[in-house]
Amino acid sequence: MNNNYKSIFEPFELPSGVQLKNRVIMAPMTLAASKSNGAVTEEELAYYIERSQGVGAVITSSALVSQNGKLMENGFGVDDDVLLPGLKTLANTIHEQGSKAFVQIFHAGRRSNPALLSGGQPLSASAVAAEHEGSATPKAMTEEEIENAIHEFAHATRRVIEAGFDGVEIHGANGFLIQQFFSPHSNRREDQWGGTLEKRMRFPLEIIKRVKEMVTKHAKSPFVVGYRFSPEERESLGITMEDTLQFVDVLAEQKLDYIHLSVDHFWGEPRREESNSTKSRVVMVQERAGNRVPVIGVGGLSTPDDVVKALGTGIPLVTMGHALIMEPKWVEKVQSGQEKEIRTTLPRLAQKELVVPDHLWGFITNIPGWFPVVD
């Protein structure tokens, strides 16, 4: 191994006591390869087997906590005890490759597909549609529906624990339900769940609290609770970087194992006009809270030099998604001094070799500029 890359392979202990063998975590990527009820398939198992040997931990694709928050057909689920056998198989499969296994749990909220909902209308903090064409206007959730959603996140966590995983990542990013409660664009409530910045924090904080209660009650060994967030929104009245930094201050006091940004580039600066900062948003969060809670950085990291530079900012961990799809043995090749053999493009005919499910492969090869696809 090149000595310049030693920092990538230093072990790291999360606050709960879970040990990671290195600093690279596999990022969650939507596979849409589950059965219609959300059960694990052989196609998913094969995808994770191919990518789980080298990384310190795997974060699965986002797992649905409730049928009333369904985003797509064939999405991964943790919303029913009937799914436990498949979940146990997935946890064991990842562990057999030598990696820790975390499940990302989510509810799509207003982003849910109306055609897949029994009531035909998505739920959200308020009856405000997203600012893009074709967005459905959601129903503002009642107190009972809010409590049910919190309950569903908690019981999803119980299932993840019973299945033998090492942790959950609460998905408060990418415009899904938890983010919708934090966002001033989607949350126009004037009750205890909205209005001020502090009240808009209440829903995610209550989910964190209830998830941690489930861990205390059911976990028999150290169990990770992480939280992912998108630091800004493009929408008018959307989340600003200053909103997020205040939220990060509160998140840092919740005794989480980590906070994980969702950004498309590690070095990307704030996008909204009101922010005058030229710093990376990841670095801003690290400087604000990194001494209180581990921060995971992400975004466009493809070479070992990229990862070393990112770790040099002080963040302890990085997630990699695109790089591990194109090169499933990325970590092993760096560790064995074969970094020059890492694939940096995606051959259009390499689906079988790279063990990528059909739905994800279709997205990868049909969205211009998302991956460096070559013929």
User: Which residues are within 8 A (CB) of 157 and not within 5 positions of it... i.e. 6 or more apart?
Assistant: 105, 168, 211, 214, 215
Angle, vertex CA 79, rays to CA 159 and CA 60, nearest 5: 70
User: Taking every pair of C-alpha atoms in the chain, what is the biggest distance, in angstroms?
Assistant: 58
Cα–Cα distances in Å, from 126 out to 26, 69, 193, 373? 34, 15, 10, 40
Q: What is the pLDDT of residue 273?
A: 65
Mean pLDDT, residues 177-194: 98
User: Which residues are within 8 A (CB) of 58 and not within 5 positions of it... i.e. 6 or more apart?
Assistant: 25, 26, 48, 51, 52, 94, 99, 100, 101, 102
Q: What is the pLDDT of residue 64?
A: 98
Cα distance between residue 186 and residue 133, in whole Å: 16
| pLDDT tens figures, 20-58 | 999 999 999 999 999 999 999 999 999 999 999 999 999
Mean pLDDT, residues 304-322: 98
User: Which residues are within 8 A (CB) of 267 and not within 5 positions of it... i.e. 6 or more apart?
Assistant: 280, 282, 299, 300
User: Which residues are within 8 A (CB) of 257 and not within 5 positions of it... i.e. 6 or more apart?
Assistant: 14, 15, 16, 18, 167, 224, 225, 226, 294
Mean pLDDT, residues 214-240: 96
Q: What is the pLDDT of residue 58?
A: 98
Span 3-344: which CATH code? 3.20.20.70
| pLDDT tens figures, 85-95 | 999 999 999 99
How many percent of the chain have pLDDT more than 70? 99
Q: What is the pLDDT of residue 274?
A: 66
Cα distance between residue 1 and residue 3, in whole Å: 6
The closest of 316, 353, 356, 318 to 334, measured between CA atoms, is 318
Domain ranges of the chain: 3-344
Mean residue pLDDT of the chain comes to: 96
Looking up tokens 């990384």, which residue turns up? 55
What's 141's DSSP letter? P
Give rounded-to-5 percent helix, strand, coil for the chain.
40, 15, 50
Q: What is the pLDDT of residue 28?
A: 97
Angle, vertex CA 106, rays to CA 271 and CA 210, nearest 5: 110
Q: What is the pLDDT of residue 133?
A: 75
Whether residue 161 is predicted with pLDDT greater than 90 in this model: the reply is yes
Encoded tokens for 372: 């460096």
Whether residue 220 is predicted with pLDDT greater than 80 in this model: the reply is yes
